[in-house]
Structure formats: structure tokens, C-alpha cells
Structure 1
Amino acid sequence: MVACGLDFGTSNTTLGITTADGPALIALEGSSVTIPSAIFYTPNGAPPAVGRAAIRSYVDGNNGRLMRSLKSVLGSSLINESTAIGRGRVSFRDVISQYVDIIKKQAEATSGVEIDAVVHGRPVHFVDSDPDGDRKAEEALEAIAQEVGFKHISFQYEPIAAALDYERQVNHEEVALIADIGGGTSDFSIVRLGPERRHKADRIDDILANDGIRIGGTDFDHYLSIGTAMPLLGFGTGMKRAGLPVPGGYYHDLATWSAINRLYESGVMRQLHEVRREAQHPELIERLIHVVEEHGGHRLAIDIEAAKIALSDEPQVQVLLDWIESGLAMNVDRTVLVDKTRGLADKIAARIGDCLRDAGLGPNAIDAVFLTGGSTRLAHVHAAILGTVPDARVVDGDTFGSVGTGLTIDAATRYGVVAA
């Protein structure tokens, strides 16, 4: 039997198998072991492209439909909705199924082995404060795994998987806080780790607490977009009728990766032209109409995401938006990013506090904090996490690979697999 660890993430995906040298992530796109969770459909019915190829097809202006942040629809009402692809429609559930199927086939082609079993990563909570929605999300992901050909399917919390990866470098027993700030969720585990524990098949007694919150990198994108780009398209301006604002729903959909395609549904363009006629600043609404007409929502989201990432290292970045209107650009300061998303960082820190209370531990009982996930690179998020456990040793994991590696370790333990 060959088993894999599959980290199907909101922003990126990895898949690993056990080799003679230990757990290894498989190259899924060229030489890269990390592939964006994106799929691009063409209206002519050709097989969809995934990953960087999907994003490239979209950015190059090819006719078709890009979809990203696929995992975000799990546990939401969107999972049962469909979107227009060419002259037909496809459900979001089927989109996820096609994406996972392509990833599985690519991994098998690269590794030269048929993969029978999977340990799927999952957030601690797909949906906050909704056990029924959480259960349905896992059930949907399990059914999809069966559809694409996995014969044995199990799940592991993503922060526990990251802990298994970190444990390989631990040379003495310690209590660690694992913080995984992914694209869609922030997940935390407090785990007792050590060289004498790492070979135990059952680690339930070593898990002191698990918690999570549905806040991730895409939420930071959303708040940054709403605060910077959307006012350039008319957000926050008024209608000619006194006291009536321009409807905000269009902008919130445009700033939300998983909701962008709603703007391309029939009837929306007619509504936007009506808004333009009655708006105090029709020239701004004209920019919004141009973005929607050109199916440029994901392009704008990519620009905002790139700005957010750049602000991890630079105090200010310029975002060129001349594809919307000649000469249009905006400068974004790191202070703006912090101001617009400070509340998200505070909620992440508060949930870590809940996790510590669930474990019955004070901040000084944590020996190390292990960080993984792209949004841990944001300075104010990093500081918010460390502020909850100020005396802990800080260990930066593989930003995008720790969870997938840990899931692969778990797969080898669960299924007793022989190295591929």
C-alpha cells in the first residue's frame, strides 16, 4: 500500500509520500512541491489547467474562468451552488473534486506509484461555532477523496501535522504551541513532544488542546482590498439620492476570493449600469464595471495579495492598476495593512489564549512556538502570536510544507506503508 499526506489548502496544496529517505513532498508542478489551489476552465470544454498554469492562463487574458480559494466553500452554502463555465454550469463541489483528482494523478505520474490511501489535512474548525457545518465539510471532502480513487481515507488536524514535522528536530521533551496560519483558517495545537514519543502510534494523550478560527490569509487580502482598492472603484461613495450609499455587496464579493465569480452571473452587469446612472461619482463605478466586464476580479485580488506579501519585507509598495484605467495606481504602506487588519491579528491572539486555557496552562508553560503558514510572515501577526507566549523559543517551520510533511509522517504511521 502507498499512502500520502495531502494538504489541500485554501491558497496552496502539497502532497507527500514516504521514501527510503523519509517523508518527501512530491513535485506537483514542474520542480515545485507547492502548487496554488487554483483551476482555470476554458469555455471550449478542454481539460482545466491547475496551479500556476491556471493563474498564468488567466493573467495572459485567455478566455475562461479562474477559481481560487476552493477550500473556502467547504462548510458553507457555496458548496451546493454552481457557477457558469462556458455555456454550462459546474458545482463548486465538482470543481474541488476535479482539482483533487488532477493533483492525485500528477503525484502518481511524478512518483511512478499508485497511491491508495490518504491522510487529509483539515482545519480544527472548517466553520466557527457550527459543529454540523464542520461535520458536513469533512464528509464532503471524504466523499471527494473516494470519488478520485483513494481506497483508505483518514483526517488529521493541520496543526497536529505541523507538530509531527517539528518533532523530528526535537531532542528533548517539551510542550509546544503549534500555530498554523493558512489561507483560510488559523489553527493551534498545544502538544507534548519528544524523541521518546515520536514513534507512538497513539498520540491522543500528548495533545493537550486544539483550537482554531476561520481567519486566514484571504481575510487579510479582503480587508486590505476593501480599505485600499475598492474606494478607487466607488466603494463608500454615495448615490444621488441623499443619504443612500453605493451598494457594498459588489465590493465585498470582489474582495473575497471565493465569491468573485458571483459578479459574472447574468443580471449583475445590468444592475451595475443602473448604479452608475444614479451614482454621485459615475466615473468610479465605470472602473468597477470595467473590472467585471473584463472578468478581472481575480487579477485585482492577485495584485492585492502580492502587495500584502511584499509588505512583509517592504514599508511601502505601489500597486499598478493601469489595466483598469490608464495611469491608475495606488501606494500602500505597511501601516495601512496593519491598521486595516489589526482586528484579525487580535482575534488570532485571543484564540491562542483560549487554547492555553483549554490546556490548563499559562503562557510560561510553553517551551517553543512553531510557526507555519504564509500569514505568520506578516510582522503584526507574528508579534500577536508571540505576545501570547513571550518566553517561548520561536521556531519558524517550512512556511508552505510543514503540514504536508507532517501528514505524510502520519500516513506512514497509520497505514504502515513501505517506502515508495
Structure 2
Amino acid sequence: MAGSPPAVPDACGIDFGTSNSTAGCALAGTPGQVALLALEEGKLTLPSVVFFHAGDAHISYGRAALADYLAGDEGRLMRSMKSLLGTALINEQTEVAGRALPFRALLAQFIGELKRRAEHAAGRGFTRAVLGRPVFFVDADAAADRQAQDTLSEIARAVGFTDIAFQYEPIAAAFDYEMQITREELVLVVDIGGGTSDFALVRLAPERVGMADRRDDILASGGVHIGGTDFDKSLSLASVMPLLGLGSLLRSGLQMPSALYFSLATWHTINFAYTKKAWAQIGELLLEAQERDKLARLQRLVSERAGHWLAMQVEEAKISLSGAPQAVLDLGRIDPGETRVLQRADFDAAIGGLVGSVERSITELLRDAGVAADAVDTVFFTGGASSVPLLRAQVASLLPRARRVEGDLFGSIGTGLALDALRKFA
């Protein structure tokens, strides 16, 4: 009908993140404009967390899931589910409330809930979506990388999306930044998320906003499978797990087996430490340990299923150390009154190798693109882990003349995906 407002597309952008997820879409009545949707308690992010309650069939998500777990509710907490994509674990299953749950079904439950919440917030259904993806789900394995995207596509279709496109997450962030600029810029996007570090070298300009085909503007993209959860893991292994016996000796003089500690320090494998086999192993090690007090702490941690709680303490310390020279780690749940002071230098030492890998990946990206460091106008940071001081310092040393801009650390990718959905599906 003449004079009727244009239909709002039934398309959205979905950023399914390792730590946090977002969804965005076009706004009714404002052509060309998009916004992120409130997914939980008025907040624009939904932590990528699921809690299965033991006593009934109730499942909680996001902040509510974390609150239920921390309140001591009986059940199973699952986090960093995106890290399963591209691994052999995605085709396996875990036990939840006495029944077997395939990991694919776990991801489908969370992404389905993300879709439902987005539709509720927008007041309309979504059948089409642009999904974000890291440049590499899996490093140096093209077949596994393709399988990871195919798996995510299958899951998205299973929850009700019929038309699906993918966009590299750093390029989506570039589209968000492009809405702010007033002149052409050569931009290096540095996206350090929960599970991966992704980069894109993109030529942006106000007059290019809205163009559907941007292939000529993307000079290079790359990434490495290192993110904020890896920083958590390294800090935990260096400064926390030794308090539970990592690196200590058995009476035989051999070193304590490390596999259990690596499981506890890695978000998506923490639940492996709660198996009967693991519990039996801890009991045997306690009898053989030279420092039995440390193994007693480990035993209390596992008996209380407090592995995720400890990982949260480490994550909070990491965040604190990104803005302060030291942080106090509370270990009271496994050793009453016990604390540990962590220094920024401890954190830097723990993650130095990881940051070095990120630095090398950026150097290779510039070399492959044939672009000199001095030619880059702006470094645009996004992703929660991009605020780590050592990482920012290393990037600044690589590109000393580039302007440094911080985007919405948790929202730039989702906004860019929504913009891309508007262009692709409008």
C-alpha cells in the first residue's frame, strides 16, 4: 500500500561467543539503523552459560545460571561451549541429571534460547541470520575448520533459522567502527575474544557504508586459537593450581600427574574432574603425595564441585589485573581464610607466550597483505580480552604510529553482524 512503512526484515545478527553472546537487528522506523537486543535483565549480553538443575528439568541460562551455581544449587554448569566446535568432543556426550546429553544438543539448547530471547526483545520472529565466526575455529586444519562452521550451521537450522550466512567476527567489528568515521582509514581490527584472537585489515570509509560487496576493501584476515579463556588457564596453572599440588612430588620422587589440573584450569573440561575415575585418582595421589595438604585442598575442591567457582575467581583476578597492579584471589571455599595476592608481573609472565603468538600472527598478517606498519591508520580493539595491558603494549610496539581506538568490547561484533544482516537480507 502506498505510504506504508517498509517492512522490517526478519533477519538478525548472532554473535555466539565463547564467554558472552549478543544478538542485533534492524530498527523499525529508522532505515539503515540497527541495535543490539536486551537478552537478560535489560542487558545486551547473555553470558554463554547453561546450568542444568539436578532436582528437576529446569535449565537456567546466562547470569541466572551463574547465580544458581554460586548459590549452591545442585546441578551441572556448562560454559565455553563454543570451544567444542571443531574438536572431536562435539560428537560425544556428557551426563546431565542422570541422562546422556550430546554436546550438539547442548549447543542447540543455548543457541535456541538465544534466538527466543532475541525474538522476544525485538517483538518479531527471525528466520534469517548472519552468524559470526572466528577466522579460524581450528588452527592449521582446514577440514576441521570447515566442519566447525558446518556444525554451527546445522545447529542454527535445527533451532529455526532457514537462511544463514557467516561473517568473520573482526570484519563485523570493522563494519561497526565504520559507522563512526568521517574519512577513509586503513584499520587493523584486533578482536580478542574468549576463545580466539582474530584480525582483519580493512579499508573503511563513510561513503562505503551500506555497500553489499566489500571484498575489495578487505586486505587480509587472520587469527589464532588463543583467547581470554587461555589467559585464564595460563594464570591458573602458573599461580593457582600449584596450591592444589601441581608441580609437587610424590613419595616416589616423581612429579604429580598434571592432567587433572589442566582439566580444572580449562573452562570446557572442568566437569571431567568430577568423574568417578578422577575422584579415585585423587584419593590414590593423596596417599602418595609429599605435600598432602595441597592434595587435601584438591580433594575438597572436587568433592564440592567447586571447579567452576575457582575458575571464576581466576577470571575475576585476570580482569582486575588488567586495570590494577595486583589482585587478591579468595580461596576460602576450599581452605577457610586462604587468599593469594597475584601481581601484574605474575599475570604477564603466565601469558607471555600466548601474547607472543598473537603478536606473530599480526606481523604475518601485515606481511602477507604487503602493508607496512606505518600505513595503518587505526587499531580498533574489541573483545573482552583485548584490554589486557601486555597485549595492548605489544600491539602498540608493532604499530607505533597508528591511532588506538577501543570499541564496545562486548557489542561491536554483534552490531556489525546486525548491519551485515541488514545488507544481505533487506
For the superposition of Structure 1 and Structure 2, which TM-score range results when normalised by the shorter chain?
A: over 0.9
C-alpha contact 1:41 1:85 (8 A) present in aligned 2:
yes
**CA displacement 1:89-123 (0-9 Å, x = unmatched):** 21221111100001111111122100111100000
**RMSD between superposed Cα atoms in Å:** 0.9
Question: What's the counterpart of residue 17 of structure 1?
Answer: 25
Q: Which amino acid aligns with 2:85?
A: L
Contact 1:176/1:369 (<8 A) preserved: yes
- For residues 379-394 of structure 1, what are the structure 2 equivalents within 5 Å? 379-394=389-404
- Whether 1:147 and 2:158 are equivalent positions in the alignment is yes
TM-superposed CA distance for 1:43, in Å, is 2.0
CA drift of 1:38 comes to 0.4
Identify the residue that residue 128 of structure 2 maps to in structure 1.
Answer: 117
| Match runs of 1:336-415 below 5 Å | 336-415=346-425
* 1:234-278 residue CA offsets vs partner (Å, 9 max, x unmatched): 010011112x11110000110000110111223211111011111
The answer for the alignment partner of 2:3 in structure 1 is none
Amino acid at match of 1:360: G
Q: Structure 2 CA distance, aligned partners of 1:183 and 1:371?
A: 14
The equivalent residue for 1:8 is 16
The answer to whether 1:236 aligns with 2:244 is: no
The alignment status of 1:135 with 2:182, answered yes or no, reads: no
Q: Which runs of 4+ in 1 moved over 2 A?
A: none
Cα shift at 1:389: 1.3
Unaligned runs of 5+ in 2: 1-8
**Amino acid of the residue matched to residue 327 of structure 1?**
G
Q: How far off is 1:199 after superposition? A: 2.2
Alpha-carbon displacement from aligned partner over 1:345-369 (angstroms, at most 9, x marks no partner) = 1111110011101211010110111
Does 1:257 pair with 2:267? yes
Residues 52-131 of structure 1: pairs in structure 2 closer than 5 A: 52-131=63-142
Q: How many residues align?
A: 415
Q: CA deviation at 1:45?
A: 4.0
TM-score, with normalisation over the residues of structure 1?
Answer: 0.97
Residue pair 1:83, 1:261 contacting (<8 A) in 2 also? no
Are the counterparts in 2 of residues 39 and 51 from structure 1 also a CA contact under 8 Å? yes
Unpaired segments of 5 or more residues in structure 1?
Answer: none
Mapped partners of 2:171, 2:228: distance in 1: 20
1:190-228 C-alpha deviation (Å, 9 max, x unpaired):
011101222221101110000000000000000000011
* Most deviating of 284-293 and 56-65: 284-293
Q: For the Cα contact (< 8 Å) 2:55–2:74, is it kept in 1?
A: no
Instruction: Give 2:181's aligned residue.
Output: 170
Q: Structure 1 CA distance, aligned partners of 2:53 and 2:90?
A: 21
Q: Distance in 2 between matches of 1:262 and 1:100?
A: 23
TM-score w.r.t. structure 2 length?
0.96
Partner of 1:29: 40
AA partner of residue 8 (structure 1): F
